[in-house]
Amino acid sequence: MSEPQPLSFPVPAQLTEQLSSLSAQQKAFLAGYLWAESQGVAAVGGAVAAAAPAAQRRITVISASATGNAAGVAKKLTEKLQGASLDVTLTNAGSYKARQLPKEDIVLIATSTQGDGEPPEEAVPLHSFLFGKKAPKLDGVSFAVIGLGDTSYPLFCQAGIDFDTKMAELGAERLLDRVDCDVDYEAPSDAWIEEAVVKLKDVAGAGAATDAVIPVGTYTHTESAYNKENPFTATLLANHPLVTDEAGRMIKHIEIDLDGSGLQYEVGDALGVVTNNPADVVDEVLEMCGLSGDEVVDGRTGKVAIREALLTQCDLNQLTPKLLTDYASTADHEDLTKLIEDKDALRDFQAWTPFVGLLQAFPQKLEAQRLFDGLKPLSPRLYSIASSQEEVGEEVHLCVGVVDIDSGGKRYFGSASGLLSNRLEEGDEVQVFVEPNPRFRLPKDDATPIIMIGPGTGIAPFRAFLQQRSAEGASGENWLFFGNRNYRADFLYHAEWIEYRDKGLLSKISLAWSRDGKEKIYVQDRIREESADFWAALEKGAHVYVCGDASRMAKDVELAILDVISQEGGKDEDEAKDYLNELRETERYQRDVY
């Protein structure tokens, strides 16, 4: 029999279109069927009988991460599947083309949740595609989802819930039940990964080992020995206020020495700060719980005295619904019971009450282990870096809004913001690590214009952006939108912006002050006021960056940008959303929100 020859005639367009709609599994079946036909092998009931070996199914792992935890789970999952000789590809959601989803075979999603139950920034296009009017049919696609979240927030793991339920609604086959992981995500995620490997070895078929594909856009730099698991012990160089006493709140400029660490960062990255609780607050909690502090509990790394656990392992500032429900079950306080039943009131109470405030308002004694088990783990805090290493060398700068709450006639501070701004003196040590943020980067072409929108401490990365563009001699125009309460009280880094403007680096600055006049003016109002120029910048190829509060500011800013696109671009609501999603997918619209 002569060797088969490649097609030497045009493939009909209808055939090409039909083939493109098939899943990998269907294509494999068709290939086997045609091979059997050419060999004269019988096909029974539409299946090829002992002719071609069963094709290995293709697995795509999608990482949708905000702080790197979901990315770590996705990477571990991929490595385990690779070790089981399965055909697996790892990608991050920011690099994934959403319209590819109906053509996938098996999709595994590891996602975090941010803001008010929203997907992480890099997963917004995929989420919008699934929930939009053009949502695809996913018949023939199999999937599983693992969600990472924080039970301190009411919409716990909502992004994972969204992906899981919507994919099933669109016809995809669920291979595994979704698992929702709290801040202590390692044990449940490891168990889910093991279950996934067993399931996929059964349904996907083992073959030759494959190499996992590294996600496109993954951050790369010269490796340092220091990271989240092994933070660097740095020195605090400077700590000074950026606002006057009239501001009504404190915002600090922090400088930290990285000399000797080998740590490198890009503008747009975050700095992780390992924190702890003040000793006087820990002693206050122990006293109100009726504990000496010497009681031994089963901690997160073995047995430990409760006092040490409260100092270094427990978050004393964030109350979880689980903790409040358990506490109320034995507190014998009718007001607390009513509070638990009122979701809105409970949310406000959580936001403005530290654990010591709960003990003050509804006193009761607690056993050491119950106290420890009820508190969430104390996690490092992430701050957008406010400097460029091109400008500051072996330093890193932060812009820190100090969180403070009055409770029981005493002022309590945020764990990390209090540490950096109040408890550490210049020359003291602090443990830090770099958290890469590859989805918040300056354009590769320094002639590209940029628009930066960062009210309040959201200004931090844009200080770094302009330091970088200054160092590189970038020719692209730079337009800054900044807002705060008062021009005189809290115009952060005022002198620096004026200097950049005078030098011509800052092409335009649009300011919004919410307390300086009869009407409150915000950055979204300035965007609408300058819609013609904003649209002209977009049409010239400008990249848009937003940094700050996810729950309110970022949403309001996005609505303003959509209004600009509709009004100036002559587009209806759906067309405006498509235009903005196009900007997002091409990395011309990037957000660093929290």
Choose the most confident range, by mean pLDDT, from 85-89, 293-297, 339-343. Answer: 293-297
Same fold, 58-204 and 450-593: yes
How far is 144 from 335, CA to CA, in rounded Å? 42
Residue 221 pLDDT grade (very low, low, confident, very high; cuts 50, 70, 90): very low
Nearest Cα neighbor of 354 from 421, 305, 284 is 284
Number of H helices, E strands in the chain: 22, 23
Q: Token pair 């989803």 is at which residue? A: 101
On the CB side of 61, CA atoms within 13 Å amount to 30
Name the least confident of 34-48, 51-65, 79-93, 429-443.
Answer: 34-48
How far is 361 from 376, CA to CA, in rounded Å? 20
Share of the chain above pLDDT 90, in %: 73
**pLDDT recorded at residue 27:** 53
How far is 284 from 5, CA to CA, in rounded Å? 82
Which CATH code, of 3.40.50.80, 3.40.50.920, 3.40.50.2300, 3.30.1490.150, is assigned to 450-593? 3.40.50.80
DSSP per position, 3-27:
PP----SPPPHHHHHHHHTS-HHHH
Residue 212 pLDDT grade (very low, low, confident, very high; cuts 50, 70, 90): very low
Cβ pair 479, 530 in contact under 8 A: no
Residue 327 pLDDT grade (very low, low, confident, very high; cuts 50, 70, 90): very high
**pLDDT recorded at residue 19:** 55
Cβ pair 231, 396 in contact under 8 A: no
**CATH number of the domain located at residue range(s) 58-204 in this protein:** 3.40.50.360
Inform me whether the pLDDT recorded for 1 exceeds 50: no
* pLDDT (tens digit per residue) in 119-164: 998 899 899 999 988 899 999 999 999 999 988 787 899 999 999 9
Cβ pair 294, 371 in contact under 8 A: no
On the CB side of 134, CA atoms within 13 Å amount to 11
Average of per-residue pLDDT values in the chain: 88
pTM: 0.81
How far is 57 from 45, CA to CA, in rounded Å? 21
* pLDDT (tens digit per residue) in 154-169: 789 999 999 999 999 9
DSSP per position, 137-187:
P-TT-EEEEEEE--TTSSSTTHHHHHHHHHHHHTTPEE-S--EEE-SS-HH
In this structure, the dihedral spanned by the alpha carbons of residues 62, 213, 59 and 105, taken in order and rounded to 10 degrees, is 80
Q: Is 166 exposed, middle or buried (0-12, 13-18, 19+ CB in 10 A)?
A: middle
How far is 533 from 538, CA to CA, in rounded Å? 9
Residue 99 pLDDT grade (very low, low, confident, very high; cuts 50, 70, 90): confident
Residue 22 pLDDT grade (very low, low, confident, very high; cuts 50, 70, 90): low
Residues ≥6 apart with Cβ < 8 Å to 91: 60, 61, 62, 63, 213, 215, 216
How many Å is the Cα radius of gyration of the chain? 27
Inform me whether the pLDDT recorded for 204 exceeds 60: yes
Cβ pair 242, 251 in contact under 8 A: yes
**CATH number of the domain located at residue range(s) 282-374 in this protein:** 1.20.990.10
**pLDDT recorded at residue 61:** 97
> Max alpha carbon distance in the chain (Å)?
93
The verdict on domain 232-275+380-435 having CATH code 3.40.50.300 is: no
Q: Token pair 């819930």 is at which residue? A: 161
Domain ranges of the chain: 58-204, 232-275+380-435, 282-374, 450-593
Angle between helices 460-472 and 494-503 (to 10 degrees): 30
Encoded tokens for 149: 């979240």
- Phi and psi at 153, nearest 5°, equal -100, 145
* pLDDT (tens digit per residue) in 514-557: 999 889 999 999 999 999 999 999 999 999 999 999 888 999 99
